[in-house]
Structure 1
Amino acid sequence: MGSSRIFAYLQLTRPANVVTAIADIWAGIAVAGAWAFISFDGSILGNEILFKLAWLSLSTIGLYAGGVAFNDVFDAELDAVERPERPIPSGRVSKSGAAWMSFILLVVGVIAAAQVNLISAAIALAVAILAVLYDYWGKHQNLIGPVNMGLCRSGNLLLGVSIAPSLLSSFWPLGLIPLIFVAAITMISRGEVHGKNRNALFGGLSMYLLVILVIAAMPIMHGTPIFEVIPFLALLCYMIFPPLIKAIRSQDPKLIGKSVKAAVISLIIVNASIASAFAGWQIGIIVLLLLPISLWLAKKFAVT
């Protein structure tokens, strides 16, 4: 397989987006309090947590990459009209080849999660099913579609929390944060091709504000100093609001696309904010280190 063929297959997986999914896992692990036990000193507990972090990170890579690649499989005919440069309609990747790659990636995601515990495997399987459901059916539904996509991210965050399964019963409501944020992105993205979706843009704006307010309240509820979270939220506002406001003013599909791209990448900042609220600013910085990687990949691969 030549380098151009490999690049085409990588395009299907949206590498910059995959990095944002890893941030979900790392934030979930912060919620579970497991970062405090990660070490490289050779201790049994430190190695165990480190291996679980690695398995869950691999799991989300498989789940996200497989899910978004299946999206192109199901959209092949539509992309032939609206996005003929995409790997499948351009002929650089066969539809059957893309489907097999997507399926294998999803299976890898579930198997990797199973190396942590059965609860993790069950959550990974649910995320895989939700992703395929969205690709095939959910994205065509005005109300259910954004919720469907948001549930994939919710499951991904809880997959990180599942490193300590007993905590899921306490922290499952945190899954509402990525659900609302991603539902907002999905709703806004409806105008990426044709524009003229002002109501959806304002709806997305209000949902972003809700997410920011909820995260800002977390330090108060969790007992973390609020100054540890504020810088991350300020960066989040800087990333998502200027391009969204421009899109609202112009209704230009290209500006809507830029707004969506900024929000997708900003999922890393959302996760860094959550991590800092539960585990301190140092862990928030660790999660935030994924941002430059995602931004670099976004220059080489499409985000939407």
Structure 2
Amino acid sequence: MGSSRFFAYFQLTRPANVVTAIADIWAGCAIAGAWTYIFIDFGAGANEFLIDLAWLSLSTIGLYAGGVAFNDVFDAELDAVERPERPIPSGRVSKAKAAWMSFLLLVVGVIAAAQVNLISAVIALAVAVLAVLYDYWGKHQNLIGPINMGLCRTGNLLLGVSVIPEMLPTFWPLGLIPLVFVAAITMISRGEVHGKNRTALYGGLSMYVIVIFTIGAMPIVHGTEIWEVLPFLALLGYMIFPPLVKAIRSQDPKLIGKSVKAAVISLIIVNASIASAFAGWQIGIIVLLLLPISLWLAKKFAVT
């Protein structure tokens, strides 16, 4: 396979977005309390956590990459009109081969999760099913579509929490945070091609505000220091609000696209904020280290 052909297959997986999915796993592990094994228990517990973290990170890479690649498979005919430069309509990747690659990536995602525990495998399978459901049907539904997409992220965060399955009954409601945030992105993204979706843009803005206030309240509930979370939330606001305000004012599809791109990348900051609320600012910084990697990849590969 030539380098240009490999690049085309790599494009299908949206590499910058995949990095944001890894942040879901790391934040989920912070919610479960697993990061303490590295900083408190330097023995066997730390080694076991690192191995499980690696498996779950590989799992989400497979799940996310397979899910977004399937999106291009199902959108091949539409992309031939609206985005002919994409790998499948441009002829650089065949639709059949892209479908096989997508399927195999999802299988890798489930198998990798199964190396941690059975609950992780079940959650990974649910995420895979939700991703394909969204690609094939959900994205065409005005109300269910954003919820469907948000549930994929909910499952991804809970996949991280499942590193310690006993924590899931307590913390599963936190999955509503990525659901609301990603549902907002999905609503906003519908104006990328034609623009003129001011109602959806305002709806997305309101949902972003809800997410920020919810994360800001976590230290109060969890008993951590709020100053550990506020810098991350300030960075989140800086990333998502200016491009969204410009998009609302102009209704320009290009500016809407930039707003969506900023919000997708900012999922890493959302996860860093959650991690800092549960495990301290140090873990938040570790999650935030994924941001420059995602930003670098976003310059080379499409995010939306």
**TM-score class, shorter:** over 0.9
Describe the SS at the equivalent of 2:199: helix
**What do residues 18-55 of structure 1 show as CA deviations (whole Å, max 9, x unaligned)?**
00000000000000010110379973221111000000
The letter for the 1-side match of 2:47 is N
Residue of structure 2 equivalent to 1:270: 270
Residue of structure 1 equivalent to 2:34: 34
CA distance in 1, matches of 2:43, 2:211: 38
**What do residues 249-295 of structure 1 show as CA deviations (whole Å, max 9, x unaligned)?**
00000000000000000000000000000000000000000000000
TM-score by structure 1 length? 0.99
Residue of structure 1 equivalent to 2:210: 210
Residue of structure 1 equivalent to 2:128: 128
CA distance in 2, matches of 1:76, 1:12: 12
Residue of structure 2 equivalent to 1:77: 77
Taking the TM superposition and a 5 Å limit, the aligned residue runs for 1:1-304 are 1-38=1-38, 43-304=43-304
Describe the SS at the equivalent of 2:204: helix
Describe the SS at the equivalent of 2:35: helix
Structure 1: state its 5+ residue gaps: none
**What do residues 221-265 of structure 1 show as CA deviations (whole Å, max 9, x unaligned)?**
000100000000000000000000000000000000000000000
CA distance in 2, matches of 1:242, 1:233: 14
Contact 1:40-1:47 at 8 Å conserved across structures? no
**What do residues 37-94 of structure 1 show as CA deviations (whole Å, max 9, x unaligned)?**
0379973221111000000000000000000000000000000000000000000000
CA distance in 1, matches of 2:47, 2:290: 22
CA distance in 2, matches of 1:236, 1:199: 22
Describe the SS at the equivalent of 1:93: coil
Describe the SS at the equivalent of 1:275: helix
Distance 1:19 1:40, change over 3 A: farther
The letter for the 1-side match of 2:104 is I
User: How many pairs were matched up?
Assistant: 304
Deviates more, 1:38-47 or 1:291-300: 38-47
Contact 1:39-1:50 at 8 Å conserved across structures? no
Describe the SS at the equivalent of 2:90: coil
TM-score by structure 2 length? 0.99
CA distance in 2, matches of 1:297, 1:109: 21
Describe the SS at the equivalent of 1:152: helix
CA distance in 2, matches of 1:60, 1:290: 14
CA distance in 1, matches of 2:62, 2:234: 31
CA distance in 2, matches of 1:258, 1:9: 23
- % identical aligned pairs: 86
The letter for the 1-side match of 2:182 is V
CA distance in 2, matches of 1:273, 1:224: 12
